[in-house]
Chains A and B, each alone.
Chain A
Amino acid sequence: MTQFLQATVNGLLDGGLLALVAVGFSLVWGVMNIVNLAHGAFVLIGAYIGWKLDSSAGIPPLLAMFVAAAALLGVGYLVQRYLINLVVNAPIWMTLLLTFGLSLVLVNGLVLLFTGDFRSIPTSYGSDGLTLGDVRIPYGRLIAFAIAIAFTLGLVWFMDRTRLGLAIKATGMDRGAARLMGVKVRRVYGLTFGIAAGLAGAAGAIYGTVDTFSPADAGGFTLQSFVIAVLGGLGNMWGALAGGLLLGVVQAWSGQYLGGTLINAVAFAVLVTVLIVRPAGLLGKPYYEARVEV
């Protein structure tokens, strides 16, 4: 029982952070129908910004993550506005290839800048934890979890309560109609991508405080975002949160009860099963192009 509780706690704590990693990916996919294979690279850029600010200027990660978010917001906006917008109407594998090329450039750029060494951002509280009965809750992960949840909830509020958020939603539902209503689609697309990249950057900076990272991790972040976005339903912020927590817990349980080397296999099995059985995701509404209707 202790083991089960501990595994569940581990999974939930990881899952909260995963949710923040994935929420921007899901947003971009849901609103623009773009699967951004460079998403993992954005997470890493955020992690490196956090690391660099901490190691060179002594800026603590809790502050640095806002810098990372702001920097990536700008990068994301420019990338969408001046690059991805050029092929937005092309067949989907074009955007897949474009973002794949982008991730090659970004990841190898990181290798050139920072080498392939493993980094992490040390914190004073990182090595300790809270003991509740037999269950141990690491402070570092708890804080990361809280921040991740706060950011995700912030995004939900933003999407529902602000003009820009509503414009993004409207554009996602019907681009043509949104344009007729006076939404500047190019700008909204740029901002959507920027927000997604900014959240990825914040997630990266926080991730750096709890785990080691190197440029080679980019693909793994993208893949996990995939799984979470599909689990939760595209463009659904609550779904991304639920999907992240679910993936974290499923991975922790499979590590606990099936063996550590099967964690990824189980994650992919869940992904494929959900796609086939319920392509709209666990919380999503039926998505129009998900399945062939003949």
Chain B
Amino acid sequence: MASVSSATAPAGVRAIGPRQLVLGGVLLAGLVVLALLPQYFLLSSEQRTMAGVFMFVALAQGWNLIGGFAGYPSFGNVVFFGLGGYTTAILMAKSGVAFWLALPAAAAVGVAFAVLMGLPVLRLRGHYFAIATLGVAEGVREVVVNLDGLTGGNSGITVPAVGAKAVTSYPGNTGFYFYFLALALLATGVVWLVSRSRFGYGLRAIAQDEEAAAAAGINTTRLKVAAFALSGLLTAMAGAMYAFQQVTIYPARLFSVDITVLMVVMAVIGGTGTVIGPVIGAVLLQFLSEWLRTNYTDLHTFIFGGIIIVAVVLLPMGIVSFARESWAHRRISLLDTIRAYRL
């Protein structure tokens, strides 16, 4: 990431002052608005769209922990999403387990898989790590396709929540709005806590110089695996809710590289390693792609690709850092960033 000047007070020595009160008030007001939206403003399908936005906030935050804070660019985070989804669907469909029991089970599977996968894979750096995680995700999808007795293979698996054979009640679009909202808040809260904690400092030290971090007494293996596990936890929970929401799920979608790429794009465009960046990125990109799809039926993917290119070239350090830089220097220049990274 760009080396960005720090205008902030030293972490941990911030007292509660009027600024904090205002911020707290805005935060609370925002939550109240979000809680009231479904009842008073949003149509059912819009609640569903918003649920999708919240889901991507959670996914981008999950990626942010390992990719942003620890500096390990996972290109296989979707594996946790898929495993969480399939754990939930299998438990609910085959064993009749209630969602509230399936959800923690999915989270546990996410954590366990992150640890198992992380121990060998987190020894790799940079592109190698990115590709190893990508390979694991693709490989797991193939396994899920082939275990069709358990997973239904490419025919998908259905949580019997709707229709004559339903065994569980379905929360509806409003229900999932709140599920995913809660998850997004949880994910952002976790990232906020991490950003202020010793754990967060340790991860950032690892991202910037792993050798020096180890010399400073940071157990890099433990911290990296912990960050990956936390990432796996949040991502698997998102997958669990998604499986229930979708009713029928397919390996091609639940393990889609596109979902990983979206997580990365959202976190990067918003600002990796920041608390609010992934939120901004997820909200912005979800609405943008929704809008493009409605208005440019044939061209939207083409345009979306173009936007990614432009965003990466002009805002390689993300919106949050860009805004902070511009504020600090009292000028806005997109060319500065190009100067920083070009050959």
Q: Which A positions have Cβ atoms within 8 angstroms of B?
A: 29, 33, 35, 83, 85-94, 96-98, 100-105, 108-109, 112, 185-186, 189, 219, 223, 226-227, 230, 259, 261-262, 264-265, 268-269, 271-272, 275-276, 279, 289-294
Q: Is B139 in contact with chain A by the CB < 8 A criterion?
A: yes
Judging by beta carbons under 8 Å apart, are A105 and B305 in contact?
yes
Complex CA distance for A97 and B261, rounded to whole angstroms: 8
Residue among B135, B136, B143, B302 making CB contact with A108, cutoff 8 Å: B302
Q: Is the CB of A275 within 8 A of B308?
A: no
Q: Known interface pairs A189-B343, A268-B138. Does A293 touch B211 (Cβ–Cβ under 8 Å)?
A: yes
Q: Which residues of B contact A271 (CB under 8 A)?
A: 131-132, 135, 139
23 sample A-B contacts, Cβ–Cβ < 8 Å, listed by A number: A86-B338, A86-B341, A87-B312, A87-B313, A89-B340, A89-B341, A91-B73, A91-B316, A92-B127, A98-B309, A101-B305, A101-B309, A108-B301, A230-B131, A264-B138, A264-B139, A265-B143, A268-B139, A271-B132, A275-B128, A291-B128, A292-B125, A293-B211
* Contact (Cβ within 8 A) B126 A92: yes
CB <8 Å contact, A98 and B125? no
**In the complex, A269→B264 CA distance in Å?**
24
User: Are A292 and B123 neighbours in the complex by a CB distance under 8 Å?
Assistant: yes
The residue of chain A having its C-beta at the shortest distance from the C-beta of B75 within the complex is: A96
Q: Add 20 more A-B contacts to A83-B313, A291-B123 (CB < 8 A).
A: A83-B309, A85-B343, A87-B342, A88-B341, A89-B343, A96-B130, A102-B305, A108-B299, A112-B302, A223-B138, A264-B138, A268-B138, A268-B142, A272-B135, A276-B132, A290-B124, A292-B210, A294-B210, A294-B211, A294-B214
6 tightest A-B CB contacts, nearest first: A104-B305, A101-B308, A268-B139, A265-B142, A105-B305, A101-B309
- List B contacts of A268 (CB < 8 A): 135-136, 138-139, 142
Contacts of B130 in A (CB 8 A): 35, 92-93, 96
**B side interface size, CB within 8 A:** 52
**A223–B137 alpha-carbon span in the complex (Å):** 12
Are A88 and B123 neighbours in the complex by a CB distance under 8 Å?
no
Counting chain B CB atoms within 10 Å of each CB, the highest count among A83, A185, A189, A226 belongs to A226
Interface string of B136-163 (1 = CB under 8 A from A): 1011001101100000000000000000
**What 0/1 pattern do residues 212 to 242 of B give for CB contact below 8 A with A?**
0010000010000000000000000000000
Closest-by-CB residue of B relative to A280 is: B128
Which B residues are in CB contact (< 8 Å) with A108?
A: 299, 301-302, 305
Q: How far is the CA of A89 from the CA of B306 in the complex (A)?
A: 21
Q: Which residues of A contact B220 (CB under 8 A)?
A: 292, 294
Decide yes or no whether B67 CB sits under 8 A from chain A. yes
A109 touches B302 (CB 8 A): yes
The interface bits of chain B over 319-343 (1 if a CB of A lies within 8 angstroms of the residue's CB, else 0) are 0000000000000000000101111
Q: Is the CB of A88 within 8 A of B343?
A: yes
A261 touches B146 (CB 8 A): yes
Asked whether A92 lies within 8 Å of B312 as measured between CB atoms, the reply is no
Q: Which residues of B contact A97 (CB under 8 A)?
A: 261, 264-265, 268, 308, 312
Contacts of A219 in B (CB 8 A): 257
Closest to A190 in B: B343
A interface footprint on B247-270 (CB within 8 Å = 1, 0 otherwise): 000000000010001001100100
CA distance A102 to B211 in the complex (A): 35
**Could you tell me the distance in whole angstroms from the C-beta of B259 to the nearest C-beta in chain A?**
13
